[in-house]
Amino acid sequence: MSVLNCRASASAMVALATLVIVGCTGSSGAGAAAGNTTEAYVPGLGELMSLQQMRHIKLWFAGQAQNWPLATYEIDELGEGFDDVVGFHPTLGNRPVAPRDLVPELVVEPLDSLRAAADRGDSKSFDAAFDALTSACNDCHQAMEFGFNRVQRPTSNPYANQVFTPGQ
């Protein structure tokens, strides 16, 4: 590439970067309306739940494949997801019950049992603990007046591009 071409593409890149910056800071979100363009993104509770749903599915198939490292990973991810639920949404509207109380009340114990079962490689306890977690998910939905969101043991695996069998 000649020096001239190089200069031309460098200035094109600067122009592009400027466009990207202008495009991002010129957004019309709530932050921009408030004159605050650095306002942090706050994931909605429904969005966090969709991630929990994914992890709940993957956890089941990891356990069925006796892939205990993967199962433990998904248990940890679920735990972090619930930390985010409590951190971002300690309460919800003016409901009398709140995620900051319901999460420790309902999901901490089943997650601990799942971790213990995965540590021991105990499929039977894993399945029982998974069902207890699923009930806890539904109990919280019920308590928060979202009882129509019911979860269950997954019946098929939508993640065809991920390997669930234990590897090296």
In the complex with ligand HEC, the residue whose CB is nearer, 2 or 156, is 156
Minimum distance of ligand HEC from residue 136's CB (angstroms): 6
In the complex with ligand HEC, the residue whose CB is nearer, 37 or 135, is 135
Query: Within 10 Å of residue 16's Cβ, how many Cβ atoms?
Result: 10
Minimum distance of ligand HEC from residue 155's CB (angstroms): 14
- From residue 40, how far is each of 29, 100, 103, 135 by CA, in Å? 11, 21, 24, 33
- Say if residues 162 and 55 touch (Cβ distance below 8 Å): no
Which residues would be at the binding site for ligand HEC (CB under 6 A)?
Answer: 45-46, 49-50, 52-53, 56, 78, 85, 92, 99, 102-103, 106-107, 133, 136-137, 140-141, 144, 146, 149, 151
Report how far residue 131's alpha carbon sits from residue 151's, in angstroms, rounded to the nearest whole number: 10
In the complex with ligand HEC, the residue whose CB is nearer, 32 or 47, is 47
Tokens 């892939």 locate to 67
Minimum distance of ligand HEC from residue 61's CB (angstroms): 14
Q: Measured at the alpha carbon of residue 77, what is the angle toward residues 74 and 81, in degrees to the nearest 5?
A: 135
Minimum distance of ligand HEC from residue 17's CB (angstroms): 35
